[in-house]
Amino acid sequence: MSLPGSVLVAATLIATSLLPSSLLAQGGRTGRRVSEPSHQTLVAQLRDPKQDGEVRMRSLSMLAYLGRPLKLKDVSSVHHLARGIFLADYARCLGLCGAEALPELKKLRVKRDVDAAAEVMYARVRLETDGVALALTTLRNRNAKDLLRVAALRALADSGSPFAVVEALRRLEMETGALLFECLAILRRKPNDDQIPYLIDLMTTSKGRPANEAVAMLQHITGYRIANDPRTWKYFYLKHKADGTPFRREADGTSEESSLSYMGVPIFSDRIAFVLDSSSSMNERMGDTSGDTRSIRAVNELLHLLPRLPEEAHLNVLFFDGDVSAFAEELIPLDPEVQAAISTFCKANGPQGGTNIYAGLDSAFSQEGIEEIVLLTDGSPSVGELIEPIDILARVARYNRWRGVRVSAVSLRAPANAQAFLNRLARENLGVCKVLR
C-alpha cells in the first residue's frame, strides 16, 4: 500500500525522520521543561533500606529512564525487589554500572521477560570483549526474538561499530516491524548517498510507515521533493548516475504540505491509534470564530481524515477522561462501515471528568501491531495510576525502548507545563508535537 502521492513532502515532515535530537515541536517552544528528580536524590532513595519498596522501585525506574552512570553497589541493593515490570529497569541500571556488572547481568533470569532480556543483550554487546560477535550472531539468528535483535543492532551502533550500518542496510528488505524501524533509525543517524539505492528498493518492497520513512530520508539526502513513487525516484537516481552528477537538487524555497495529517501532525503509518482527550475542559470553546468546542474540533478533524486514510489501514480511536473508552478492543480494518461506526462513536462521546493521559497511552500501546499513536489533549494529567509527567515519560520509554512506536502529540490550547510534557513525549518517541493555541 502506498499513501497518497503528496504525503511526506513537507520540510517539517522530513525533519521528523531524523535523529531524536532534531525532532522539534511544531508551533513553537514553551520555554519550560518537565521537572525531574535529582540524580543524587534518586540514588539515595534507591540504596536506603528504610524507604518503602515502592519508592525504591520508582527511583530505579527513573534512574533507568535518565540513563546516567551508576555504581553497582547502589543498584544491586535492590536486586531482591526487582521483579515483574521492574526487572527491565534493573537490567538497564546494571548496564549503566559498566563491565563490573556483567556477572550480575548474566545471572538474571530474563527468558520470560523480553524487555529485560533485551536490556541484558544491549549491555552485554556494549560491555563484553566479544560483544560484536554476540551481536552479529544474534542478528543472524532468525529464531531469536525481534526485540533481542533490535537491542543487538542498537548496541552495535551505540558502540560505534561499522557493522551497525552494514547490518542495517542488508536487512532493509528482509525485516519487518520493530527491527526494520531500528534499521531505519540507524541509517538516520548519518544519512548519505550510499543509502539511496537501498531506500528506493525499500519503497518498492514495503508499504506504510517503512516506505514513508524511506521517502523522508531520500528527500533529506537529495533535496528532491518526490513523494512515495519508487519509479520516479529510481529514474532520477539512474539519470544522475549515468550523467555522473550528484543526486542533488537545490532547495527552491517551496514545498508541498502533507495531505495526510491530523491537526497538523503528519501520519506515517497505516497501523495507528488516535488517543483523544475527553475531559470536561474539552467542552470549552476554541476561541476562534467557528464556535466549536475543543472536543468538536478534535472529532471533526478526525472524521475529515478517515476517508483519506489508505484502504488497508487498521486503526482504533480511544477517548480518555478519568477512564478510557475505546471504539474497539484492537486495531481494526478501516472500511466504509467502520468509518460510519467510528463517526457515531465519536459524536456520542460526551466530555466529562479528569485527564487520565497515562491510561490512554497505556491502552494504545496494548494494541497488537501498533506502529503510530497520536495523542491529543488540552491539559496536564490529573487522575490515574501515573500523574507526574516525568513518571509517564519513564513508563512510555520503558515500553517503547525497543519497539519504535511513533508517538506524536497535539497540544490543543494546553497550558505551558502541559506543552512541555507533550513536546518531550513526542521528541523522545520519534514523533512531533503540534501546538494549537
DSSP letters spanning 313-370 = -EEEEEEESSSEEESSSS-EE--HHHHHHHHHHHHH----S---HHHHHHHHHTSTT-
- What is the spatial distance between Cα 269 and Cα 317, in angstroms, rounded to a whole number? 15
Average pLDDT, the chain: 91
- Using alpha carbons, list the distances in angstroms from residue 163 to 90, 167, 190: 28, 6, 14
C-alpha closest to that of 262 among 225, 300, 213, 312:
300
Distance of alpha carbon 422 from alpha carbon 420, whole angstroms: 6
What are the CA-CA distances from residue 203 to residues 2, 60, 213, 227, 238 (Å)? Answer: 9, 41, 9, 11, 16
Q: What is the mean pLDDT of residues 52-68?
A: 97
Given a cut of 70, whether residue 324 has pLDDT beyond it is yes
Residue among 307, 292, 309, 259 at smallest CA distance from 412: 292
Q: pLDDT tens for residues 25-46?
A: 344 444 579 999 999 999 999 9
Q: What is the pLDDT of residues 205-223, one digit of tens each?
A: 999 999 999 999 999 999 9
Between the CA of residue 1 and those of 62, 180, 315, 414, what are the distances in Å?
Answer: 40, 17, 15, 36
Using pLDDT thresholds of 50, 70 and 90, give the confidence band for residue 252: low
pLDDT more than 70, % of the chain: 91
The CA distances from residue 409 to 275, 354, 372, 379, in Å, are: 9, 19, 11, 12
Cβ within 8 Å of residue 133, ≥6 positions away:
none
- Kindly indicate the confidence band of residue 83, based on its pLDDT and cuts at 50, 70 and 90: very high
Residue pair 168/153 in contact by the 8 Å Cβ criterion: yes
Q: Report pLDDT for 435.
A: 94
- Give CA angle at 66 (62, 70), nearest 5°: 90
Q: Are 403 and 397 in contact (CB under 8 A)?
A: no
pLDDT of 233 over the 80 cut: yes
Q: What is the DSSP letter of 389?
A: H
pLDDT digits (tens, 9 = 90+) for 145-192: 999 999 999 999 999 999 999 999 999 999 999 999 999 999 999 999
Model confidence, pTM? 0.91
The Cα angle at residue 254 between residues 249 and 257, in degrees rounded to 5: 115
Residue 21 has pLDDT above 50, yes or no: no
Q: What is the pLDDT of residues 120-152, one digit of tens each?
A: 999 999 999 999 999 999 999 999 999 999 999
Cα gap 101→78, rounded to integer Å? 14
Nearest to 45 by CA among 82, 75, 90, 67: 75
Distances (CA, A) of 57 to 112, 407, 425: 20, 26, 22
Whether the per-residue pLDDT at 60 is higher than 90: the answer is yes
Distances (CA, A) of 356 to 31, 62, 392, 400: 24, 20, 11, 19
Across the range 367-382, mean pLDDT stands at: 97
* Chain-centroid distance, C-alpha 295: 25
